[in-house]
Amino acid sequence: MLLSLIAALGSVSVTVSTPNPEGDMYVSICSEDTFLSGACEHGLRRAATAEDVFVFDDVPAGQWAVQVWRDPEGDGEMRTMAFGIPAEPVVISNDPPMNFGPPRFRDAAVTVGEAGVELELSIR
């Protein structure tokens, strides 16, 4: 039983680069139920740097989306514009379309398995 539990976990490595390393960088790994919310299952926050690697170990195998936002003020608050559109720099795995509303989970999802996942994302 323990071996099957261990085999069902993988790691997710997210390299984030930004030309504007000010404030804090938030990286979250979200299930479909928590996608685009502040309640994702896995999350890390650090002072923003030009490039940083965020590693999440023990992520259950399955479909997950990665959300990154940079908080230039470092106040922990996501500022929004009309209709809830983020006013802070944001990037989502697979760069899903956001033309007429929020992105769909299925467009942002990556598959995590035993081999893990490595992503490279750029944020302004």
User: What CATH number has the domain spanning 2-122?
Assistant: 2.60.40.10
Mean pLDDT of 71-82: 91
d(CA 60, CA 82): 35
Who wins on pLDDT, 33 or 85? Answer: 33
d(CA 28, CA 36): 10
Who wins on pLDDT, 101 or 76? Answer: 76
Q: What are the domain boundaries of the chain?
A: 2-122
pLDDT level of residue 3 (50, 70, 90 thresholds): very low
pLDDT tens digit string along 21-72? Answer: 999 999 999 999 999 988 999 999 999 999 999 999 999 999 999 999 999 9
Report the side by side order of strands in the sheet with 9-17.
51-60, 9-17, 117-122
Chain center to CA of 123? 11
The pLDDT of residue 5: 46
- pTM greater than the 0.95 cutoff: no
pLDDT at 105 over 70: yes
Whether the Cβ atoms of residue 63 and residue 117 lie closer than 8 Å to each other: no
